[in-house]
A and B are shown apart, each in its own frame.
Chain A
């Protein structure tokens, strides 16, 4: 049966406790064979490198050394799978048997990089398009350039603040996995937790002008629920809005563009609306003012004028023109919504009593689509635009209502028909029974 490298190495460890010298031989043999078994796609690279790689053989078999774990993880990572081994990053001579020779600076050994040097350390390869193309032509090589202009990069390079995230903070160190691997800390649904490792740690974040409740808020938001609970990988994680390597806090003027990456139509409506200029003048971040940021909740009609959660009231007085428009839009939407609710009740009643209400249900769905459209059109802030759509919806609701009512009437007709039929049958049956009894009087049974 196929065994993983990890299983093989664990086996190898138990051998070593009993016999140190034998284990070294076994380790080399097992790693050579296990690499061949587990990484069929790149068995030649791994096999060839492991065979003579003294970094691996020494670090792996030092039982009391944490490096054992480190090398094991490394072998599961993308670098080992692509044939990139210790010396490719840390330098040194992986063929030298002697420890000093292997880690001699003259052989290019650089050892463990300082945290501040890690971005540049990784960029040696990852910012080199010619080198990267040899492995994965689709992998971007602008990560380091982006990192330098990111919030993290600026603090690192300008303020020498080594507490900020560097490549390894998010991607891990030796067992780096590709971002589309669900075990990777930068896999889309793992990103919020990865970011929260630092950003939710109030002690670690102390002294910075940043909140630490983003993750708590996010996981209860529409986006967080979609991604973390419903597994919708199209929903944005932190990087969806803030960027990844160029992660930064969006400027107020940039918030709307960030949201528009997905909510483009809403953005277009907003840009064409009178709000755009007003928001620009006040330097207010557009979407965020009404919807919030990390804690974005499902929108409700109560957010319009007159509702319990009205966001219009934040800026508009109740006697202003803007308030009047918001009230008008709200009235159109709520009228359609209430109509849909009441007709749904009729159609549902017809369905529950066994009538075929499919056509009415379909028409109601069309009305609901119009309701969704009208809610989106609120971002035009033009009452007529909203009413044009709600009017179509109301027509559909009316049609569904007539259909639902017909079904209920039809059911009543069936009921009456059934009762009349039953009465006629009963009457005939009684008459027949009387006739039979009358015949029983005149001897009908013969011996």
Chain B
């Protein structure tokens, strides 16, 4: 056997991949900064996988040992506090970046043809990451996580016919118990990551295949671009370094806390809130009256969010103007209303 790189290159289409990357161009305009968000999300996802695997060396997903094992990681394992803190902060930053990535893509109308599938796979990734956040939050089995999960898993119960079934499926029974913990663990480390890996692969393939979308507002102004390799890739790398510094700073100054162990027999603490990224939904549902036009308020809220998610998922097919290369102010306005709604409700939920 000669040169191992040549050996591999002869057997795998590496040259084709490299050629594609070498020929890939990234548009240059005043909104180019938003192209870094996808890379940031990918980077944070890699951090999540690495830190998650490290945590798995010590974490024990049982009702009796979950809390103690996390405590052991935080206090006894070398750099355990850092790994867990990075995992927790990286999860929050990932979802924050996904929110910005999603809304910036929406406002720049990057979903228009031929990138409908890129948009839809991105939406799926967003949903999977929310699921990872929700399931991961319970794993330390502390008081806050226990009651937040109790409230979170209660929400689907208002869906007609299948509501209770979904609730019981999520909980593994009528209430949140050790069975819920092992179930969430399975979702968190196997089911959702496998789905994530598949969808990320398709999403990246589509991004490479179809390239970056140039916003409608910039299309007429210039056609400037830069090569992905090495120019944009090096800039990406620089951004990743900044994100790493932010992650380390947050983990050092605000290490993840563990709180008190979960006690299913204790009453729900006053002012218990879900994670910040679910707060806008929680607050909206809280504000709804018990009944709207004879239908249960919570059900109306769930239907609203369901339809809103469906609308956003299918927006490439609904926004005809953008598809035809025309300006689409209505969808821009919808985008800003959604952003204002999410931010407003989140702040209200936190302060109220």
Residues of A within 8 A of B (CB): 354, 356, 358-359, 414-415, 418, 421-422, 425-426, 428-429, 432-433, 435-436, 439, 444-447
Residues B248 and A418 in contact, CB atoms below 8 Å apart: yes
* Chain B positions 238 through 257: 1 when the CB is less than 8 Å from some CB of chain A, otherwise 0: 10011011001100111100
Knowing A356-B74, A422-B245, say if A446 contacts B224 (CB, 8 Å). Answer: yes
How far does the Cβ of A423 sit from chain B's closest Cβ, in whole Å?
A: 10
Cβ–Cβ < 8 Å partners of A429 in chain B: 238, 241-242
Stretch at the interface among B106-114, B164-172, B226-234: B226-234
How far does the Cβ of B236 sit from chain A's closest Cβ, in whole Å?
A: 10
Knowing A428-B241, A432-B241, say if A444 contacts B249 (CB, 8 Å). Answer: no
Residues B230 and A439 in contact, CB atoms below 8 Å apart: yes
How far does the Cβ of A403 sit from chain B's closest Cβ, in whole Å?
A: 10
Residues A421 and B248 in contact, CB atoms below 8 Å apart: yes
Residues A425 and B245 in contact, CB atoms below 8 Å apart: yes
A432 to B238, CA, bound (A): 7
| From A425, A436, A444, contact of B244 by CB (8 A) | A425
- List 20 additional contacts besides A415-B252, A422-B249; criterion CB under 8 Å: A354-B253, A356-B81, A358-B71, A359-B75, A414-B82, A421-B245, A425-B242, A425-B244, A429-B241, A429-B242, A432-B241, A433-B238, A435-B234, A436-B231, A436-B238, A445-B224, A445-B226, A446-B25, A447-B222, A447-B223
Shortest Cβ distance from B225 into A: residue: A446
B321: CB under 8 A from chain A? no
Give me 26 A-to-B residue pairs in the complex whose CB atoms sit less than 8 angstroms apart, sorted by A's number.
A354-B255, A356-B74, A356-B258, A358-B71, A358-B75, A414-B82, A415-B252, A418-B248, A422-B248, A425-B242, A425-B244, A425-B245, A426-B245, A429-B238, A433-B238, A435-B234, A436-B234, A436-B235, A436-B238, A444-B226, A444-B227, A445-B225, A445-B226, A446-B224, A446-B226, A447-B224
How far does the Cβ of A416 sit from chain B's closest Cβ, in whole Å?
A: 11
How far does the Cβ of A9 sit from chain B's closest Cβ, in whole Å?
A: 42
Cβ–Cβ < 8 Å partners of B25 in chain A: 446
For chain B, the bracket of interface size reads 20 to 34
B237: CB under 8 A from chain A? yes
How far does the Cβ of A327 sit from chain B's closest Cβ, in whole Å?
A: 42
Cβ–Cβ < 8 Å partners of B81 in chain A: 356
Residues A418 and B249 in contact, CB atoms below 8 Å apart: yes
| From A356, A422, A426, A432, contact of B237 by CB (8 A) | A432
Q: Which residues, 205 to 235 on B, are CB-close (under 8 Å) to A? A: 222-227, 230-231, 234-235
Residues of B within 8 A of A (CB): 25, 28, 71, 74-75, 81-82, 222-227, 230-231, 234-235, 237-238, 241-242, 244-245, 248-249, 252-255, 258
Shortest Cβ distance from A414 into B: residue: B252
A258 to B248, CA, bound (A): 64
How far does the Cβ of B259 sit from chain A's closest Cβ, in whole Å?
A: 11
| From A358, A359, A414, A439, contact of B234 by CB (8 A) | A439
Knowing A356-B74, A356-B258, A359-B75, say if A432 contacts B248 (CB, 8 Å). Answer: no
Shortest Cβ distance from B79 into A: residue: A417
Residues A418 and B252 in contact, CB atoms below 8 Å apart: yes
How far does the Cβ of B50 sit from chain A's closest Cβ, in whole Å?
A: 16
A422 to B246, CA, bound (A): 9
Cβ–Cβ < 8 Å partners of A354 in chain B: 253-255
A207 to B278, CA, bound (A): 77
Cβ–Cβ < 8 Å partners of B82 in chain A: 414
A444 to B74, CA, bound (A): 47
How far does the Cβ of B40 sit from chain A's closest Cβ, in whole Å?
A: 15
How far does the Cβ of A399 sit from chain B's closest Cβ, in whole Å?
A: 15
| From B71, B234, B252, contact of A432 by CB (8 A) | B234
6 pairs of A and B residues whose beta carbons are closest in the complex: A418-B252, A432-B238, A444-B231, A429-B241, A425-B245, A356-B75
How far does the Cβ of B260 sit from chain A's closest Cβ, in whole Å?
A: 11
Residues A445 and B245 in contact, CB atoms below 8 Å apart: no
Cβ–Cβ < 8 Å partners of B75 in chain A: 356, 358-359
Cβ–Cβ < 8 Å partners of B223 in chain A: 447
Cβ–Cβ < 8 Å partners of B258 in chain A: 356
Cβ–Cβ < 8 Å partners of B74 in chain A: 356
Cβ–Cβ < 8 Å partners of A436 in chain B: 231, 234-235, 238
Cβ–Cβ < 8 Å partners of A359 in chain B: 75
Cβ–Cβ < 8 Å partners of B226 in chain A: 444-446
Knowing A422-B248, A445-B226, A446-B25, say if A439 contacts B231 (CB, 8 Å). Answer: yes
A354 to B82, CA, bound (A): 12
Cβ–Cβ < 8 Å partners of A435 in chain B: 234
Cβ–Cβ < 8 Å partners of B254 in chain A: 354
Shortest Cβ distance from A421 into B: residue: B248
A422 to B71, CA, bound (A): 27
A356 to B231, CA, bound (A): 44
Shortest Cβ distance from A428 into B: residue: B241
Cβ–Cβ < 8 Å partners of B248 in chain A: 418, 421-422, 425
Cβ–Cβ < 8 Å partners of B245 in chain A: 421-422, 425-426
How far does the Cβ of A420 sit from chain B's closest Cβ, in whole Å?
A: 10
A359 to B76, CA, bound (A): 11
